[in-house]
Amino acid sequence: MASENLDAKIEQLLNVEKQMWLAGEIAGTRKAAIDILQLCFEAEAWKTLNDQIVVLSKRRGQLKQAVTAMVQQAVTAMVQQAMEYIDKTPDIETRIELIKTLISVSAGKIYVEIERARLVKKLAKIKEEQGLIAEAADLMQEIAVETFGAMAKTEKIAFILEQVRLCLDRQDYVRAQILSRKISPRVFDIDASKEKKKPKEGDNMVEEAPADIPSLLELKRIYYELMIRYYSHNNDYLEICRCYKAIYEIPYVKENPAEFIPILKKISWCLVLAPHDPLQSSLLNSTLEDKNLFEIPNFKLLLKQLVTMEVIQWTALWETYKTEFENEIVSGKFLSEKAAEDLKQRIIEHNILVVSKYYARITLTRLSQLLCLSLEEAEKHLSDMVVIKALVAMIDRPMGIVCFQTSKYSNDILNSWAANLEKLLDLVEKSCHQIHKGTMVHKAALKV
């Protein structure tokens, strides 16, 4: 009986909707469509609701405003008033079916693209909760929100970051990198208050972002945390360091010791683990100049050792920082089990660079003693550094001597000798001039 009453009411409203459409009444047509949806919601007739959504969207080339209102009403019921209607939904399958219906209805309609994107995100969330990560990621990747002119900037960024997160969860690092490049890091540094402009006539109005979308600074932190996850899979410590640096520069992080101390520790470890190059050296020096580093003096000392041209004793360093380092590995944020090997490798590389500064030639035996390694290990590490062009060295294996000077061509040697001779003659001439000047001033006669 209730079903018959519902059908009769729907039929009556469909007739009203037809009359309004023929009369060209947009408001009346929209109201009739929304009333039909509301009736189905109140009667909990979920299948009928799905059918009516499809019927109304295809009914005589329905007016755009009516379809927009219909989908927005459904989205409001499913998202903004979720708590009220989720309880009424008999099971998750019914809920998924309703979302799928709304997605299919809004497909290809540019005037409801934002609502469709929100529906897809909702469906992807359900799939993720069911453990279907790959399916959720595929759903999200179908939507290219960067082309949506009317969507708020923060909502676009949040949507793309969700796409990146799902790709990282399914370990699709190539696609995660492609998606992350859709967001320019400079967008997080734009002042939102200065960016707002009065829309010109004919421009698309940008919608306000939903209340659950994080602020731009929070999105900045989420973005860099996801990038840390991406760079961690191939142990790119320098890029991880730059990401932590960007998080550290966020005002509410830099002003709170509870926030910045753990991040400064991670920055320090990344700088120690990163291979030596100009960018690493620049970041290392800028970090040492940071006043907040005084809050963690043991890490300041660690970084100071790296910029000091002195050999670091690996055993002493490991005993001092072993607990801190293992705690970072256990946290699983960015350090893997391989990190301990990388740390030892970086200390050895630092020590070899220090030796190359003080010695032009050194025996392999003495080099291995300074590095606390066997002869074979010392030779291997030295050879690896020469291969990657971190330094210039030649090993005379029969003699067991390492030469840190490059061999010069005969022309270069002659040019160097000629330049030195020219400097010597200049000095002799200047000396003669000074002697002659002194003789003239004091009127001293030279003795032949």
More confident residue, 291 or 12: 291
More confident residue, 150 or 201: 150
The per-residue pLDDT for 62 is: 47
In the DSSP assignment, the letter for residue 80 is I
- pLDDT at residue 167 is higher than 60: yes
| Percent of the chain clearing pLDDT 70 (strictly above) | 80
pLDDT band per the 50, 70, 90 thresholds, residue 443: low
Pairing verdict, β 401-403 and 394-396: antiparallel
| Percent of the chain clearing pLDDT 90 (strictly above) | 5
The per-residue pLDDT for 75 is: 38
The tens digit of pLDDT for each residue in 364-397 reads 888 888 888 888 888 888 888 888 888 888 888 8
The per-residue pLDDT for 88 is: 61
Average pLDDT value for residue range 144-164: 85
More confident residue, 136 or 84: 136
- pLDDT at residue 230 is higher than 50: yes
Separation between Cα atoms, residue 395 and residue 373, nearest integer Å: 17
The tens digit of pLDDT for each residue in 13-49 reads 777 777 776 665 666 766 777 777 777 777 767 777 7
- pLDDT at residue 149 is higher than 50: yes
The per-residue pLDDT for 368 is: 87
Which DSSP helix (H) or strand (E) runs through 403? strand 401-403
More confident residue, 310 or 73: 310
More confident residue, 3 or 229: 229
The angle, 0 to 180 degrees and rounded to 10, between the axes of the packed helices 46-58 and 64-75 is 160
- pLDDT at residue 190 is higher than 80: no
Average pLDDT value for residue range 343-369: 88
The per-residue pLDDT for 223 is: 92
The per-residue pLDDT for 65 is: 57
The per-residue pLDDT for 227 is: 92
- pLDDT at residue 86 is higher than 50: no
Q: How close are the terminal C-alpha atoms of the chain, in Å? A: 139
The per-residue pLDDT for 191 is: 61
Average pLDDT value for residue range 245-270: 88
- pLDDT at residue 408 is higher than 50: yes
- pLDDT at residue 77 is higher than 50: no
Separation between Cα atoms, residue 107 and residue 121, nearest integer Å: 14
Helix (H, G, I), strand (E, B) or coil at 401: strand
Average pLDDT value for residue range 180-184: 88
**Across the chain, what does the average pLDDT equal?**
78
| Of residues 329, 284, 278, the one with CA closest to residue 302 | 284
In the DSSP assignment, the letter for residue 78 is I
- pLDDT at residue 194 is higher than 80: no
The tens digit of pLDDT for each residue in 203-212 reads 556 777 777 7
- pLDDT at residue 201 is higher than 60: no
- pLDDT at residue 82 is higher than 50: no
In 48-98, beta strands by DSSP E: none
The per-residue pLDDT for 132 is: 87
Residue with tokens 């009769």: 8
- pLDDT at residue 51 is higher than 50: yes
Which tokens go with 127?
Answer: 């799939």
More confident residue, 199 or 149: 149
Q: Which amino acid, one-letter code, is at 45?
A: A
Query: Which range among 50-64, 181-195, 416-430 shows the weakest confidence by mean pLDDT?
Result: 50-64
The tens digit of pLDDT for each residue in 279-321 reads 888 888 888 888 888 888 888 888 898 888 888 888 888 888 8
- pLDDT at residue 202 is higher than 70: no
Helices (H), 332-409: 339-358, 364-371, 375-387
pLDDT band per the 50, 70, 90 thresholds, residue 83: very low
> Where does residue 184 fall: left (phi above 0), alpha (psi -120 to 50 degrees), or beta otherwise?
beta
- pLDDT at residue 78 is higher than 50: no
Average pLDDT value for residue range 228-233: 89
Separation between Cα atoms, residue 336 and residue 327, nearest integer Å: 11
